[in-house]
Amino acid sequence: MGLFDFMRSDKKKEQAEKAAQKAAEQVQQQAAAAPAPPSAMPGDTGTKYTDAAAATKAAAERMAAAAPPKAAPAPPVARPAPHTPTPASAAHKAVPAAPMPKPAPKAQRTYTVRSGDSLSAIARRELGNEGRWRELYAMNKGVIGSNPDMIHPGMKLNLPS
């Protein structure tokens, strides 16, 4: 924000203050020109609002007295931190570590290439979609080599699941 922006914002503030003062003067003039309602006495306007505030306060106090008392919040329960054995602690030396179970190896499906096979024919027959030949090639690129058209009978190919 530059120097001129501050000057513009100050001018806008001044204009807003002038407009507010002018509006306040108009309200005072209209209030002075309007006749007072017959139920209001000249000095009675302040007490009418004071009585309403006092009545509201009294109603709030009655409601608070009638409400059941709130229970004090329970103090937080202190729980001991769990002990993690360290290599130097006695607990670590006394209890041997449980062996981790090895995940069961997945049974990998394989296919042995026959004479006249192509990757698309194998994909159609074994995977149900000849468009999956690219997936079959990607899994077996090490066996097949750089040319997917050069597969030979006897090659063992892994099939995707």
Positions of the chain with pLDDT lower than 50, given as ranges? 40
What pLDDT, on the 0 to 100 scale, is given for residue 77?
75
CB atoms within 10 A of CB 5: 9
Q: Residue 142: its pLDDT value, please?
A: 93
Q: Judge contact between 119 and 133, C-beta under 8 A.
A: yes
Q: What is the pLDDT of residue 57?
A: 85
pLDDT of residue 42: 52
152 touches 127 (CB < 8 A): no
The one-letter code for the residue type at 38 is P
**pLDDT value at residue 85:** 64
| pLDDT at site 86 | 67
CB 71 within 8 A of CB 116: no
Per-residue pLDDT of 100-127, as tens digits, reads 777 767 778 899 999 999 999 999 999 9
DSSP 108: -
pLDDT for 51 equals 78
In angstroms, rounded to a whole number, what is the distance separating the alpha carbons of residues 36 and 30?
11
What tokens does 68 get?
A: 């059941």
Report the b/e string of 36-51 with b at 16+ CB within 10 A: eeeeeeeeeeeeeeee
What is residue 95's three-state secondary structure? Answer: coil
- pLDDT the model gives residue 58: 86
Tens of pLDDT, residue by residue over 89-106, are 665 555 666 777 777 677
